[in-house]
Structure 1
Amino acid sequence: MTPRDDADRNGSRWSDLDRPPLNATALRRGLVRAGGLWREVEVVQRTGSTNSDLVARAADGRAAEGAVLIAEEQSAARGRLDRRWTAPARSGLFFSVLLTPAEVPVARWGWLPLLTGVAVATGLSRAAGVDTALKWPNDLLVTVGGAERKAGGILAERAGPHGVVIGVGINVTLRAAELPVPGAGSLLLADAISTDRDTLLRAVLRSLEEWYGRWRAAGGDPGPSRLQEAYAAGCATLGRTVRAQLPGDRALTGEAVAVDGDGRLVLATEDGVREPVGAGDIVHLRPA
């Protein structure tokens, strides 16, 4: 057995030198500050789901707003509709944050995953030089070889009556042979100028702190906070003909014409009706 084989068998943090571990100390030093949102930044080597872990911690009082939990690898990561999502260890950013927007009406909390999408796209644009588009409601898209690919996703879960846990998964250094499905992508394959995960994570969390603070100061109103405007500007779904697979096995096809004040996608159907969609799977049927 070679030293490399032995390292892989024992789970050495240096078993893939192209994918060094996150520097937890440097992340805390760069993100945790007096008066800031982020109060605790923890990196674990492996867990089932950072979202599940943070929801459980919030439920029994072991986590407060501003807690950030990051995993180098997840064995039971979940997307929307309880879909499973896997990636090699240290190949991406897999993290969850706990937010408790007490001053924002609960009716506006549905904007939090959309806000996170705007923040992630903004942070990646700054740090990775990659144009990241948003597919309503929670997918992060990049362009690989002229084709639109999913490079990440966002999952929001309630954490008791006062909190929301937002989970983010971003494919950073996945190679073509490692992609889980044909429509997947990564920042590496999208020709990012940087795939340093420490740098990317700091940029994303700083952007999330900025957007969350702006939205919270506006009482969660997506207009004055300019969140609605920013989301529409970065949303690749708008202007396309799409099929919405709705609860109850109902499907709706139409042009995505707007994101309304409640964060719903508004479809204009062939019979002239405009119908808002608040939940469902969206399939892009043609380019904008």
Structure 2
Amino acid sequence: MSGSRYSDLERPPLSEAALNRALVHPGSLWTGVTVVESTGSTNADLAASALGGAGEGTVLVAESQLAGRGRLGRSWSAPPRSGLTFSILLRPRPPIATQGWLPLLYGVAAASAVRRVAEVDVRLKWPNDLLIGERKLAGILAERADDAVVVGMGLNVSLTREELPTGTATSLAVEKAACVDRDPLLRAVLREVESHYREWTAADGDPEASGLRSAYLAVSATIGRRVRVELPNGQALTGLATGIDLSGHLQVESEGERYTLSAGDVVHVRTAE
């Protein structure tokens, strides 16, 4: 079989009006949800809006993203309405030294929401890739725009095996999840993000006091695993992932030394390797 087995009716568009009715109300973090048919990058668009003074809680959803970017500059794309592609704009008040936790916070929230709504066992690969088993379900990218932070997510929902970009990716449809309806999934993710963000903000960004660090460790697929971390400088480090420090950095023990890594692409190493 080749191509998509889904028709346009089976991949319905999201309703901007319905999302705003459900999510935007007095006291809510979310101040407005915009749904566009296509764009180059929701992160780039929201970053430009942030520089123009857009407020915290702005959400931008694209039915099709033409120039999506992942971590380490990777590009990716998917058929229209086959996934959830959206970004949020935050203007965090906690000290900037604690804001490295924001993408991890988003990962915890997204994993919790997807697990609850889709009834699949979602775990996190450091820092914030959503996995089912060892296959990637979603990626998250956080970028700073002056005093704002834009966080984007790409979640594979109805993609077929043939539509997935690599053999290491998966989708809710492939995993036979209980829900492949993008509307309740998006609502659930945004509500979980709001809940975790409020707790983290109330604790002035402290990952221990807010419970964020323990929540992250509870859903981590990386801690306790042997890993190979491909570093931004082209080098690689192999060792045992032992923990997450108070800045959200990965701690790896290798040949008797402990390394603390703020960036890198993690590969979970099988014990036989």
Tell which deviates more after alignment, 40-49 or 239-248: 239-248
Residue number in structure 1 paired with 2:11: 19
Matched-pair contact (CA < 8 Å) for 1:77–1:84: yes
| CA displacement at 1:15 relative to structure 2 | 5.8
2:273 paired with 1:283: no
After superposition, the CA RMSD in angstroms is 1.2
Which has the higher Rg, Structure 1 or Structure 2? 1
| CA displacement at 1:229 relative to structure 2 | 0.4
| CA displacement at 1:247 relative to structure 2 | 2.8
Q: How many residues align?
A: 266
Which residue identity lines up with residue 114 of structure 1 in the other structure?
L
Which residue identity lines up with residue 284 of structure 1 in the other structure?
H
Residue number in structure 1 paired with 2:224: 239
Residue ranges of structure 1 left out of the alignment (5+ in a row)? 1-13
Q: TM-score, normalised by structure 1?
A: 0.90
| CA displacement at 1:123 relative to structure 2 | 0.7
Residue number in structure 2 paired with 1:209: 194
SS of 2:214 mapped into structure 1: helix
SS of 1:220 mapped into structure 2: coil
Deviations 1:213-237 (A, max 9, x none): 0000000000011100011111101
Matched-pair contact (CA < 8 Å) for 1:142–1:187: no
Q: 1:74 is matched with which residue: 65, 85, 101?
A: 65
Residue number in structure 2 paired with 1:97: 88
Deviations 1:22-66 (A, max 9, x none): 1111111110010110001000000000000000011112x2100
2:254 paired with 1:269: yes
SS of 2:81 mapped into structure 1: coil
- Tell me the distance in 1 between the aligned counterparts of 2:175 and 2:181: 14
Which residue identity lines up with residue 214 of structure 2 in the other structure?
E
Q: Percent of aligned positions with the same letter in both sequences?
A: 56
Which residue identity lines up with residue 40 of structure 1 in the other structure?
G
| CA displacement at 1:246 relative to structure 2 | 1.5
Deviations 1:111-164 (A, max 9, x none): 000000000001111111111110001211114xxxx2101100001011x110
Matched-pair contact (CA < 8 Å) for 1:73–1:90: yes
- Tell me the distance in 1 between the aligned counterparts of 2:203 and 2:97: 14
SS of 2:97 mapped into structure 1: helix
Task: Kindly report structure 1 stretches of 4+ aligned residues shifted beyond 2 Å.
Answer: 247-250
